């Protein structure tokens, strides 16, 4: 456990939130006009998820949202990041919206505002309408234009009440886990398609940001959430440094290059030339992608440690992104991933707050003047109620304390960090891991769907109410 440290105070305007996503918590997958997303199809395909788990019911947030918002208010949260289910509001991915679907999000937003909680709306957290996947999915250019139209429709409906907007959540996962390694929906394993998907996700972001600005008040803030990796070489050997650069390009540069700098890294194009010729990047695309942002969301869990594979042979892919015979790193089969030393969460991810500090300082340099938010950070543990019926999770408290301390240190060192969203508010459907990994600050009994705040929820709520990060005593 950490040694005692001095309490520190965060800026008074700092946002203290929690995050969720639609498919992971809502359930009600066949209600009010909603049609299947790629995750409905994927989770109902035998062998794709642990235990055959699906999000059909999830934690029934669709019917219990008022209670969940009341719980957020009780805990003292000042912000809540949620995602809109695309097939709930535009079932085929094209054409008019279904008002019954939009009405759910209207009710949710109104409930949040009535409780003094700032809504942060993510337009896409991986639930592509299945009909668009049948037409080619993200490797198909038209999907980017369909997304922009969807963004405009949601912006028109909610832009008067929601001020913080996020276009895409972790497009790296959508592109490379969905179309490269196949461990995420739609489960395709085509390296060239994964790079096309990445470009069209970038294009979708730029088009959607412009569409939102055309229909929303100027005060609204438009951002994107990237799971930017902190990629470290195993040694200072030039081959290991080169390997880290290649993974950094595929994890980070493929998105922040065009978004922040208006171009893909030349080193990325060169390293992937054997996979694709990038001919789908048309004139004007990078200008469209390079639309000005109001803020940047960063999701962080653990750093990556890589080296060149010895003897020119491919190394094992211990990258923390699920088991597959196919790699999510196109053109980098000769890079070996290593488990970083230290304590690990139930996901097998090493706990290393220094990576979060490094990430914040990196983007302070990459995009000077651009406000930053931690839009996801958290840990999965094997949480269980004790004899007293309470759920004590001291490991999560220690995890949160140390990562929040890293955020505060980054602010002191010049990073303009405006808020922190804990992942996650509730235990939920954890994608291909099913219900086997609990990230929530609130425990959910999956049999009864009863919610029980864990000790970490109470601890985090006190930090949120006071803005003070206390010292952690041994044994907490």
Catalytic residues: 170, 376
Sheet of strand 304-308, all strands in order from the earlier edge strand to the far edge: 231-233, 304-308, 335-338
Burial class from Cβ neighbours inside 10 Å (0-12, 13-18, 19+) for residue 446 reads: middle
Residue 450, both tokens: 């009863």
Rounded alpha-carbon distances, angstroms, from residue 111 to 65, 76, 108, 118, 375: 9, 15, 5, 10, 21
244 neighbors 275 (Cβ within 8 angstroms): no
How far is it, in rounded angstroms, from Cα 445 to Cα 451?
7
The gap from C-alpha 75 to its chain's centroid, in whole angstroms, comes to 23
Phi/psi at 401 (5° precision): -55, -50
Residue 336, both tokens: 């070996």
How far is it, in rounded angstroms, from Cα 72 to Cα 464?
11
How far is it, in rounded angstroms, from Cα 402 to Cα 304?
19
Burial class from Cβ neighbours inside 10 Å (0-12, 13-18, 19+) for residue 166 reads: buried
Cβ-Cβ contacts under 8 Å for 357 (sequence gap 6 or more): 406, 407, 409, 410
DSSP 293: P
Residue listed under structure tokens 């594979």: 309
Rg of the chain over all Cα atoms, to the nearest angstrom: 21
Burial class from Cβ neighbours inside 10 Å (0-12, 13-18, 19+) for residue 374 reads: buried
153 neighbors 114 (Cβ within 8 angstroms): no
Residue 445, both tokens: 């009994």
How far is it, in rounded angstroms, from Cα 200 to Cα 124?
14
Residue 81, both tokens: 């990041």
Shortest CA distance to 176 belongs to which of 157, 193, 156?
193
Residue 17, both tokens: 């939130």
How far is it, in rounded angstroms, from Cα 77 to Cα 73?
6
Shortest CA distance to 18 belongs to which of 70, 66, 65, 78?
78
Strand partners, 119: 80
How far is it, in rounded angstroms, from Cα 105 to Cα 111?
10
DSSP 432: G
């Amino acid at each position: 456990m950490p040694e005692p440290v001095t309490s520190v105070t965060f800026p008074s305007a700092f946002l203290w939130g929690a995050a969720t996503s639609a498919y992971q918590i809502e359930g009600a997958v066949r209600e009010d006009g909603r049609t299947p997303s790629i995750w409905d199809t994927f989770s109902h395909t035998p062998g794709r998820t642990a235990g055959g788990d699906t999000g059909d019911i999830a934690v029934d947030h669709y019917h219990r949202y008022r209670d969940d918002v009341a719980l957020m208010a009780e805990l003292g949260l000042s912000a809540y990041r949620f995602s809109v289910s695309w097939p709930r509001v535009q079932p085929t991915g094209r054409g008019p919206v279904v008002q019954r679907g939009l009405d759910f999000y209207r009710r949710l937003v109104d409930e949040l505002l009535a409780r003094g909680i700032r809504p942060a709306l993510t337009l896409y957290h991986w639930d592509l309408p299945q009909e668009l996947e049948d037409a080619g999915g993200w490797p198909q250019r038209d999907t980017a234009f369909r997304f922009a139209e969807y963004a405009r429709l949601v912006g028109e409906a909610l832009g008067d009440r929601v001020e913080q907007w996020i276009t895409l959540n972790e497009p790296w996962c959508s592109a490379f886990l969905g179309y490269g390694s196949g461990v995420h929906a739609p489960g395709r394993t085509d390296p060239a398609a994964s790079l096309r998907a990445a470009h069209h996700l970038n294009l979708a972001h730029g088009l959607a940001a412009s569409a939102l600005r055309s229909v929303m008040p100027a005060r609204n803030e438009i951002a994107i959430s990237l799971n930017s990796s902190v990629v470290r070489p195993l040694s200072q050997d030039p081959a290991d440094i080169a390997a880290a650069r290649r993974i950094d390009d595929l994890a980070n540069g493929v998105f922040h290059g065009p978004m922040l700098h208006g171009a893909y890294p030349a080193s990325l194009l060169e390293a992937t030339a054997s996979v694709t010729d990038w001919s789908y990047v048309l004139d004007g695309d990078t200008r469209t992608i390079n639309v000005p942002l109001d803020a940047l969301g960063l999701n962080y869990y653990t750093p990556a440690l890589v080296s060149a594979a010895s003897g020119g042979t491919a190394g094992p892919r211990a990258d923390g992104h699920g088991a597959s015979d196919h790699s999510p790193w196109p053109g980098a089969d000769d890079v070996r991933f290593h488990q970083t030393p230290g304590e690990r969460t139930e996901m097998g991810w090493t706990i290393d707050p220094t990576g979060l500090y490094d990430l914040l300082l990196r983007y302070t340099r990459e995009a000077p003047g651009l406000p930053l938010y931690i839009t996801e950070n958290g840990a999965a543990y094997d949480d269980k109620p004790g004899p007293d019926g309470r759920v004590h999770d001291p490991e999560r408290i220690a995890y949160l304390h140390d990562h929040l301390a890293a955020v505060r240190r980054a602010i002191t060192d010049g990073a303009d960090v405006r808020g922190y969203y804990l992942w996650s508010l509730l235990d939920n459907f954890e994608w291909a891991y099913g219900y086997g990994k609990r990230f929530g600050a609130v425990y959910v009994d999956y049999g009864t769907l009863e919610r029980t705040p864990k000790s970490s929820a109470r601890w985090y709520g006190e930090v949120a109410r006071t803005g003070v990060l206390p010292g952690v005593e041994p044994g907490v």
